[in-house]
Amino acid sequence: MTEADDPSRERLKHHFAQRVIHQARQILEIWQRLHRSEWTSDDLQELNEANLRLLRFAERFEQPEHTEIAHHLNQVLLAVEDNRARLSSELINELNRLMQRLSRTGLRHGDELDLTPLPPLRKPVYVLLQDSERGERLAMQLEFFGLHAQALDSVPAFLASMQECEPAAIVMDVDFGGCGLGLQLAARAQDGRDPKLPLLFFSLHETDTPTRLAAVRAGGQEFLTGTLEASSLLEKIENLTCVAQYEPFRVLIIDDSRAQAMYTERLLNGAGIVTRTLTDPIGAMANLADFQPDLIILDMYMPACTGTELAKVIRHNDRYVSVPIIYLSAEDDLDKQLDAMSEGGDDFLTKPIRSRHLITTVRNRASRARNLKSRMVRDSLTGLYNHTHILQLLEDCAFRARREGKPLSFAMLDIDHFKKVNDSHGHPMGDRVIKSLALFLKQRLRKTDFIGRYGGEEFAIVMPDTDLAAAHAVLDEIRERFAEIHYPAQPLDLCCTFSAGVVQMGEASDSLTMAAQADAALYRAKGSGRNRVQTVE
């Protein structure tokens, strides 16, 4: 028997690889925790020490991919330290990129460690429903969409599984094991944990406030009632368990005092918030369009115009009606503060202000605004961007691509023979197919791509930094895989396909032209037999 065939060597190699994976997950969990609080030198030191351990293990156990990532991560953390722990947008973007790479690594099997990796953070999602058959079906649907789900049918099975493997998330029926016992079981599982496990409660019927209050106290972050649908549940689980992708809040600071603006910028940067400073208020609208902030901090008194005047100008544009505006001023007259807030402002902070007060106010306001905007710009059925917003994103991306000299592709998709699906199987099945394609696109496209429901069974995709050939290849692969999905139906299972039209931005193209060209290409794909991707040269 050769050394390569020695099973004990394989077990040892697997054990070493597990140690590296465990250390990588510790880094990702620290990264996730940092997003919920102000960044401090101690936090960054903890992240740096964890990364140095990863580097040491990866080099010792001959894991080249982890070694490379750890080296790059070390360089970025040194750059953060050189920047006095301030996180510029460039540094945050680089940290994001490396954390995404790290989250995609997994155990590989075989001598060369070159086979398919396990999915990132391959912890199971435990599904505990009173109806065990429904739980099994739901777990199978989640598995189909790439999530590792495990249905458990008893309290002992859950406790044993918790001892064996900590889950990525728990979906818990409030009555699992008996009336109201699910709440007690979940509270027991969460006891002493920091941070708490992602926990979603479910009830077949609408519940009263005391039950929901008990769910909150048990650590529940979501409460679902009625029908559990796999694609919407997956989206909620992903939102709760997402580790690598961090989209920092963006704040535009408008203050004619450079010293004050820089002080505010330094405080917010130290909390992981990306800022842009503007000392000339006349340039506010151009910077709003380019920077797209989650929140605006505005000085009350400036030479060119007052803060209240600028707030009115900002509110004239429908795109910025819901962007929070916080006045930051030395003005301590309460009546003047109230007058200013009635002129387009959302809050008034008086200088000097404690750093924690400023950071907490900004983070809370920006978080609520982002959540509200998400509801306003997304389609209720699929969670994708709605028609109006996807076209706005296309316009923004076209402006950015033209400025940076990068390619941009735009695609329109349409489910083939969709009317037959509704007529033969009913509108609930039609909705299921639409949501399935939406989830399929979200799972297989990049985080930097934008996906929208254009209307009915039609979808639109904005693909930044992507040329026509690459866009065609990606969509054709998705088209082939989507056609393999089977939807249980009578007398035969249902399968669906889609057609697509793709266009790349040209020198003279604008967003409306691209949309029209992609629509024409989609029409040609439909006319050529459907189930194909048609490009516009």
The CATH number linked to 410 is 3.30.70.270
Mean pLDDT of 140-152: 77
Which range has the worst mean pLDDT, 30-44, 55-69, 288-302, 405-419?
Answer: 30-44
Cα–Cα distance between 390 and 367 in angstroms, integer? 22
Give the pLDDT confidence score for residue 155 in this predicted structure: 92
What is the C-alpha separation between 526 and 520, in angstroms, rounded? 10
- Report if residue 517 sits inside a domain: yes
Residue 113, in any domain of the structure: no
Could you tell me if 384 and 436 are in contact, meaning their C-beta atoms sit under 8 angstroms apart? no
At 40 the pLDDT is: 65
Instruction: Count the residues in the chain.
Output: 537
Tell me which residue of 105, 98, 45, 93 sits closest to 69, measured CA to CA.
Answer: 98
Task: Sheet containing 250-254: give its strands across.
Answer: 274-278, 250-254, 295-298, 325-329, 347-350
What is the tens place of the pLDDT at every residue in 220-256?
989 988 877 666 677 778 777 654 455 778 899 999 8
**Would the pLDDT of 374 be above 80?**
no
DSSP state for residue 492 in the 8-state scheme? S
pLDDT at residue 115 greater than cutoff 70? no
Q: How many domains does the chain have?
A: 4
Residue with the bigger pLDDT between 490 and 256: it is 256
C-alpha span between 127 and 124 (Å, rounded): 9
Task: Give the CA angle between residues 376, 372, 397 to the nearest 5°.
Answer: 60
Residue whose structure tokens are 């070390």: 74
pLDDT score recorded for residue 537:
65
Q: What is the average pLDDT score of the chain? A: 82
Residue 119 lies in a domain: no
Residues 6+ apart with CB under 8 A from 370: 249, 294
Is residue 117 assigned to a domain?
A: no
Whether 136 and 236 map to the same domain: the answer is yes
Q: Does the residue 114 lie in any domain?
A: no
Rounded-to-integer distance, Cα 434 and Cα 446, Å: 20
Q: Could you tell me the two tokens for 235?
A: 């989206």
pLDDT on residue 109: 31
Same domain, 369 and 463: no
Average pLDDT over residues 205-219: 90
Give the structural domain span for 392. 387-536
Among 270, 276, 265, smallest CA distance to 85 is for: 270
CA distance 495 to 421: 10
Last residue of a domain, one of 241, 260, 292: 241
State mean pLDDT over 326-338. Answer: 83
Which H helix or E strand runs over 104? helix 89-104
Do 484 and 519 sit in the same domain of this protein? Answer: yes
- 357 and 268 in one domain? yes
Checking if the pLDDT of 451 tops 90, the result is yes
What the block records as the tokens of 277 is 């400073």
**CA atoms within a 13 Å half-sphere pointing along the CA-CB vector of 318:** 5
Same domain? For 518 and 417 the reply is yes
Place of tokens 């080296």: 71
Lowest mean pLDDT segment, chosen from 47-61, 87-101, 102-116: 102-116
401 and 509 housed in the same domain: yes
Closest CA relative to residue 393, chosen from 312, 292, 477: 292
Q: Say yes or no: 50 and 154 in one domain.
A: no
Instruction: Read off the pLDDT of residues 5-31 as tens digits, 9 standing for 90 and up.
Output: 555 555 555 566 677 877 887 787 787
Measured distance CA(13)–CA(9) in Å, rounded = 6
Asked if residue 491 and residue 392 are part of one domain, the reply reads yes
Q: Residue 492 — pLDDT band, cuts 50, 70, 90?
A: confident
Please determine, for residue 368, whether its predicted confidence score (pLDDT) is greater than 70: yes
What CA–CA distance (Å, rounded) separates 325 from 251? 10
What local confidence, expressed as pLDDT, does residue 499 receive? 93
Mean pLDDT of 449-461: 92
Same-domain status, 400 and 518: yes
CB 139 within 8 A of CB 157: no
Domain match, 273 and 182 both: no
- Pick the last residue of a domain from 241, 266, 287: 241
Q: Which helix (H) or strand (E) holds 251?
A: strand 250-254
CA dist 122 to 70, 240, 358, 480, 510, Å?
Answer: 20, 15, 38, 26, 43
Taking only the tens place, the pLDDT of each residue in 299-325 is 888 888 888 888 888 888 878 888 999
The pLDDT score that the predictor gives to residue 127 is 93
Q: Determine the pLDDT at residue 97.
A: 74
Q: What is the pLDDT of residue 113?
A: 29
Which two structure tokens, joined as six digits, stand for 46? 């903890």
Q: How confident is the model at residue 120 (pLDDT cuts 50, 70, 90)?
A: very low
Q: What is the pLDDT of residue 427?
A: 87
Could you give the percent of the chain with pLDDT greater than 90?
Answer: 23
**Both tokens of residue 534?**
């048609």
Whether residue 135 is contained in a domain is answered as yes
CB 484 within 8 A of CB 516: no
Residue at a domain's end among 241, 261, 276: 241
Query: pLDDT for 387-398, tens place per residue?
Result: 988 998 998 899
Yes or no: say if 121 and 27 are a contact pair by the CB < 8 Å rule. Answer: no
402 and 335 co-located in one domain: no
Going 356 to 361 to 367 to 370, the CA torsion angle's sign is negative
Residue 108 pLDDT class (50, 70, 90 cuts): very low
Residues 418, 469, single domain; the answer is yes
**pLDDT digits 0-9 by tens, 160-209:** 999 888 888 999 999 998 888 999 999 999 888 877 888 999 998 888 99
The confidence score (pLDDT) of residue 107 equals: 37
Average pLDDT over every residue of 380-386: 85
* Residues 6 or more apart in contact with residue 22 via CB below 8 angstroms: none
Query: Is residue 211 classed exposed, middle or buried when 0-12, 13-18 and 19+ CB atoms within 10 A define those classes?
Result: middle
Of the pLDDT bands very low, low, confident and very high (cuts 50, 70, 90), residue 111 is: very low
* Domain at 266, CATH number: 3.40.50.2300
- Does a structural domain hold residue 378? no
Q: Residue 167: inside a domain, yes or no?
A: yes
